[in-house]
């Protein structure tokens, strides 16, 4: 079957990947490509449709990104969004001007329902629908052969089209959720204009990716740093399916993992697990504890944990010898990418950032770099990875090292592991895990007086944290039910030796951060 591909040509807009993701939600495969890609490269991809993104520039600026006008004559349908719509108008000799009134945010847009783009969308009695606008320039006059198909009080051409040439444009952003009927408009474009059939599924992604990896890797050797987190686990399984034993996964247990985590990872990826690969577990707990002894400053701890990871990995990589490919579980939010030629930045996440310097390899493979987190989880499920790995909450690279305030010692690691385990167990029992962005127990460096039985105690205080967040940039403290907090507190002080107080962190981010250090 012919592979249906829609490409998003990136002109520097902030929603470029969101557009791709929305198209994939319509079951059509979609990738973002830089606007610096050549017309020949586009022809070679043979896409069913092209979407131009928005961007911060004004088409009149000489430095603003443009595109070869031949693109409009390829017979491939195009949808221009925001800057992309202005570029289309400008390139085809319409008029683009600075708008007398800029429009930002929710805007009532009056649409011409005879346009295929607006087929079946719900409108008010005045034929309007709420769309998300963000522009200072606008199309004042459409190019020859085009007609305006939507307008607002302040914008004469909120959408335009030349259906004979399959060229469409919207000044507003159909990809953002605030555009109420936006997904339907994109669906209309990819199905009714581009003629896609919507046969793509996440398992098609997995199968296509496995096939492509197999072709690319051939008989080469592949090395993967496996952390046990969602991204590296899904990447490892994809590679295992593609090339089996040509893949070696190195899992470094730094002694700062959650309770039982090292064994859980080994159970899935080790020799008794379901996957064909070489699995190396490095038990490096002692050397981490030794290097962290006496260190209290958070950034210093982070640095040591990061450096030590690189050293351990380097030693293992030397034993393995030269490999052809190094796998990174980079996902889209880790990639800061722009069609304007800025290069991709790999996670500053300590346990991948510096690996390329210490591994003898020819090429990096990043099979998940086009996907959002929830898409990665979907792929993981399609690949049959157990739920407890696929649904894992984020866990920082430096692990419990940044959840123990002050010096890290094996004893403190034990305390925080036990407390966190109880907390997670009770949260799951109460059915609250799906509602929380992240939750964990941390060990404060505070000891205080308590009384247990008839004895005075002088023990640590554990802090519980639970936040609601979708982007992890800002967060609110979750309002956990008091009875759940009570149960967790009772269990921690009774079951975890060395703790006599449990505190709940009510602070949001900002001013706090999600982690303690």
Q: Catalytic residue at 82?
A: yes
Give 107 or 330: the residue with its C-beta nearer to ligand XMP: 330
Return the structure tokens found at 201: 């599924």
Q: By CB under 6 A, is residue 505 in contact with ligand XMP? A: no
Cis preceding linkage at 510, omega within 30? yes
The CB-of-384 to ligand XMP minimum distance in angstroms stands at 26
Q: Do the Cβ atoms of 366 and 330 come closer than 8 Å?
A: yes
Give backbone dihedrals phi and psi of 478, rounded to 5 degrees, phi first. -75, 145
Toward ligand XMP, which CB reaches closer, 83 or 395?
395
The stretch near ligand XMP (CB under 6 A) out of 109-117, 393-401, 451-459, 477-485 is 393-401
Considering only residues 331 to 350 of the shown chain, the ones binding ligand XMP according to CB under 6 A are: 349
Q: Does 396 bind ligand XMP (CB under 6 A)?
A: yes
Q: Which of residues 19-58 bind ligand XMP (CB under 6 A)?
A: none
Nearer Cβ to ligand XMP (24/350) = 350
Q: Does 424 bind ligand XMP (CB under 6 A)?
A: no
**Min dist. Cβ of residue 256 to ligand XMP (A):** 11
Please confirm, yes or no, whether 468 is among the known catalytic residues.
no
Six-digit token string for 460 = 């640590």
Report the distance separating Cα 202 and Cα 435, nearest Å.
24
Query: Residue 515 interacts with ligand XMP (CB under 6 A)?
Result: yes
- Token pair, residue 385, equals 């990875």
Cβ 108 to ligand XMP shortest distance, Å = 37
399 binds ligand XMP (CB under 6 A): no
CB of 513 to ligand XMP, least distance (A): 3
Would you give the binding string for ligand XMP spanning residues 288-327, x where CB under 6 A is met?
--------------x-------------------------
- Using rule CB under 6 A, residue 225 touches ligand XMP: no
Q: What whole-number distance in Å separates Cα of residue 482 and Cα of residue 488?
A: 10
Burial of 430 (0-12, 13-18, 19+ CB in 10 A): middle
Q: Does 94 bind ligand XMP (CB under 6 A)?
A: no
CB-facing half-sphere around the CA of 140: CA atoms within 13 A = 10
Cβ-proximal residues to 508 (8 Å cutoff; 6+ apart), any chain: 467, 474, 475, 476, 477
135 annotated active-site: no
According to the 3-state scheme, what is the secondary structure of 27-84?
A: CCEEEEEECCCCHHHHHHHCCCEEEECCCCCCCCCCCCCCCCHHHHHCCCCEEEECHH
- Given a contact cutoff of 8 angstroms between Cβ atoms, the answer to whether 361 and 56 are in contact is no
Active site residues: 82, 173, 175
**Binding residues for ligand XMP, per CB under 6 A?**
302, 349, 394, 396-398, 438, 472, 509, 513-515
């Amino acid at each position: 079957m012919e592979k249906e591909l829609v490409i998003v040509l990136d002109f520097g807009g902030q929603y470029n990947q969101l557009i791709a993701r929305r198209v994939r939600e319509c079951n059509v495969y979609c990738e973002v490509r830089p606007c610096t890609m050549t017309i020949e490269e586009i022809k070679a991809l043979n896409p069913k449709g092209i979407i131009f993104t928005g961007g911060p520039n004004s088409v009149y600026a000489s430095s603003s990104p443009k595109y070869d006008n031949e693109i409009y004559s390829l017979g491939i349908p195009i949808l221009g969004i925001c800057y992309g719509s202005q570029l289309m108008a400008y390139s085809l000799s319409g008029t683009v001007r600075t708008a007398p009134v800029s429009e930002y945010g929710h805007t009532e847009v009056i649409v011409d329902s005879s346009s295929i783009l607006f087929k079946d969308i719900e409108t008010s009695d005045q034929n309007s629908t709420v769309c998300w606008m963000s522009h200072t320039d606008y199309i004042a006059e459409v190019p020859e052969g085009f007609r305006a198909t939507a307008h607002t009080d302040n914008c004469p051409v909120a959408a335009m089209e030349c259906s004979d040439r399959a060229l469409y444009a919207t000044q507003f952003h159909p990809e953002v959720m605030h555009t109420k009927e936006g997904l339907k408009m994109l669906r209309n474009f990819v199905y009714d204009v581009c003629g896609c059939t919507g046969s793509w599924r996440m398992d098609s992604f997995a199968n296509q990716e496995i096939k492509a990896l197999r072709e690319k890797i051939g008989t080469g050797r592949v090395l993967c740093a496996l952390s046990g987190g969602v991204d590296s686990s899904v990447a490892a399984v994809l590679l295992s399916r593609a090339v089996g034993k040509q893949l070696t996964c190195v899992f470094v247990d730094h002694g700062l993992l959650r309770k039982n985590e090292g064994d859980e990872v080994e159970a899935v990826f080790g020799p008794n697990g379901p996957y064909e690969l070489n699995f190396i577990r490095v038990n490096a707990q002692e050397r981490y504890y030794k290097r962290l002894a006496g260190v209290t400053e958070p950034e210093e701890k982070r640095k040591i944990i990061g450096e030590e990871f690189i050293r351990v990995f380097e030693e293992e990589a030397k034993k393995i010898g030269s490999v052809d490919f190094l796998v990174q579980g980079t996902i889209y939010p880790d990639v800061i990418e722009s069609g304007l030629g800025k290069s991709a930045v790999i996670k500053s996440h300590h346990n991948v950032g510096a690996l390329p310097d210490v591994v003898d390899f020819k090429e990096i493979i990043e099979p998940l770099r086009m996907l959002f987190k929830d898409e990665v989880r979907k792929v993981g499920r399609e690949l049959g990875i157990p739920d407890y790995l696929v649904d894992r909450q984020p866990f920082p690279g430096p692990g419990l090292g940044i959840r123990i305030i002050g010096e890290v010692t094996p004893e403190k690691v034990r305390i925080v592991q036990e407390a966190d385990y109880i907390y997670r167990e009770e949260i799951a029992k109460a059915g609250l895990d799906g509602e929380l962005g992240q939750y964990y127990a941390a060990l404060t460096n505070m000891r205080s007086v308590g009384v247990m039985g008839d004895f005075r105690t002088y023990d640590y205080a554990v802090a519980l944290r639970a936040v609601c967040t979708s982007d992890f940039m800002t967060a609110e403290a979750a309002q956990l039910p008091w009875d759940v907090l009570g149960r967790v507190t009772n269990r921690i002080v009774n079951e975890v030796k060395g703790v006599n107080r449990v505190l709940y962190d009510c602070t949001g981010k900002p001013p706090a951060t999600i982690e303690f250090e």
